[in-house]
């Protein structure tokens, strides 16, 4: 299952799609929280820029539902974006975005396999 960026903005999305009912909530000390991705610029989480991706990952670091978010993203094989503090591409966690024009190692390996 993939998730459209526009779906992130739909109330109840997190509960319905990934089983999170804690988009907003209360800590045991009575203070409340909102998910960082719902209060920061959402474009950070789907940016191509290394700096923005690092900022999104950093915001996830303080998220109270990070583990559930990452688990959900892995189970859905998210096609893109930062989820649970990790960067996803084609359902895989990747370290860094590949620059335009260079094929991925998977693509190179597939081409070499086809040629052999």
Kindly list the residues in this chain that would bind ligand SF4 in the complex (CB under 6 A): 35-37, 45, 59-60, 63, 65-66, 69, 83-85
**Which CA distances in Å does 60 have to 23, 57, 86?**
13, 5, 9
Residue closer to ligand SF4 (CB basis): 9 or 108: 9
Q: In terms of CB distance, is 24 or 104 closer to ligand SF4?
A: 24
Give CA separation, 112 vs 100, 103, 106, in Å.
20, 12, 10
- Residue 30 CB, shortest distance to ligand SF4, in Å, is 21
Cα–Cα distance for residue pair 70/37, rounded to 1 Å? 13
* Shortest separation between residue 28's beta carbon and ligand SF4, angstroms: 19
Half-sphere exposure of 6 (CA within 13 A, CB side): 0
Smallest distance from the beta carbon of 2 to ligand SF4, in angstroms? 15
């Amino acid at each position: 299952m993939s998730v459209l960026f526009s779906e992130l903005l739909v109330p109840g999305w997190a509960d319905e799609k990934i089983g999170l009912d804690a988009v907003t909530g209360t800590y045991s000390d009575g203070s409340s929280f909102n998910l960082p991705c719902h209060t920061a610029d959402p474009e950070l989480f789907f940016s191509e820029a290394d700096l923005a991706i690092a900022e999104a990952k950093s915001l996830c670091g303080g998220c109270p539902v990070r583990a559930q978010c990452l688990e959900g993203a892995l189970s859905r094989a998210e096609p893109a974006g930062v989820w649970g503090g990790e960067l996803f591409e084609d359902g895989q966690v990747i370290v860094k975005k590949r620059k335009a024009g260079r094929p991925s190692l998977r693509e190179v390996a597939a081409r070499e396999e086809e040629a052999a």
